[in-house]
């Protein structure tokens, strides 16, 4: 997710201590939340299965989230923006609480960028996140042919990246899809429709494991 605010600056990729802390907390919290939902230790799952799921989520969910947000930041900076990720601590808390009752509502934060920018440039910044998730799904796909742990990582990686791409392309509120839809409905459809269809296919016919 990316959110635009005010003025233009020279491109420079750097990370403040606050930004690194927010990225790390979001990565860890999302990984634990997914593990609580998929291996609910509070509902009888073993400690071993929960710890394994935390590790799997860290590699799949965490990487999907992290690279999604970094893609927004890099493209924003390339367009002369000041860009920095900020976690939403209330939403991180909600992610854990929702996972405890069996579903996950995860909107851990956003890359906020400011500077003068065109509608097209803003759309390109928004598009970077979902496109990154689609490419990551493609990279995880070959792992699905392997048995056991590698196959599970591949399947989870494909599932979560397709889900994030489809979810973030919804043209509503602060989600990425809104600025893309407002800029070019053809480009929006080109990314949104395959994302929804692929995510739906994986959920209905492949499954998470």
Residues of the chain with pLDDT under 70: 2-11, 207-209
* The pLDDT of residue 3: 64
Domain boundaries, the chain: 14-115, 118-208
**What local confidence, expressed as pLDDT, does residue 117 receive?**
87
Q: What is the pLDDT of residue 207?
A: 67
Per-residue pLDDT reduced to its tens digit, 100-109: 988 877 788 9
| Per-residue confidence (pLDDT) for residue 181, from 0 to 100 | 96
69 is catalytic: yes
Q: How far is CA 149 from CA 55, 84, 135, 145, 156, in A?
A: 11, 34, 21, 11, 11
Determine the pLDDT at residue 2.
67
Measure the CA–CA gap between 187 and 180, rounded to whole angstroms: 7
Any long-range contacts for 181-189 (C-beta under 8 Å, 24+ apart)?
182/119, 182/123, 183/119, 183/120, 183/122, 183/123, 184/120, 184/123, 187/123, 187/127
Residue 44 falls in which region: left (phi positive, over 0), alpha (psi -120 to 50) or beta: left
The catalytic residue among 69, 78, 84, 121 is: 69
- The confidence score (pLDDT) of residue 173 equals 82
How confident is the model at residue 205, as a pLDDT?
75
DSSP strand E in the chain: where?
2-4, 82-87, 109-114
- Residue 9 has a pLDDT of 47
């Amino acid at each position: 997710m990316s959110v635009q605010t005010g003025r233009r600056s020279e491109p420079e990729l750097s990370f403040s201590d606050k930004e690194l802390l927010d990225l790390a907390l979001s990565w860890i919290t999302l990984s634990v939340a997914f593990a609580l939902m998929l291996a609910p230790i509070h509902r009888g799952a073993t400690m071993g299965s929960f710890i394994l799921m935390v590790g799997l989520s860290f590699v799949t969910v965490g990487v999907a989230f992290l690279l999604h947000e970094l893609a927004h930041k890099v493209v924003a900076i390339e367009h002369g923006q000041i860009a920095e990720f900020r976690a939403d601590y209330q939403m991180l808390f909600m992610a854990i609480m929702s996972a405890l009752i069996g579903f996950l509502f995860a909107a851990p934060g956003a890359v906020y960028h400011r500077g003068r920018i065109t509608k097209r440039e803003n759309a390109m910044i928004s598009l970077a996140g979902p496109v990154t998730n689609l490419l990551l799904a493609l990279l995880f796909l070959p792992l699905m042919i392997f048995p056991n742990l590698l196959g599970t990582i591949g399947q989870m990686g494909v599932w979560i990246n397709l889900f994030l791409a489809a979810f973030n392309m919804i043209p509503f509120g602060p989600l990425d899809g809104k600025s893309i839809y407002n800029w070019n409905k053809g480009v929006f459809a080109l990314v949104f429709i395959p994302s929804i269809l692929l995510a739906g296919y994986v959920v209905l016919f492949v499954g998470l494991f």
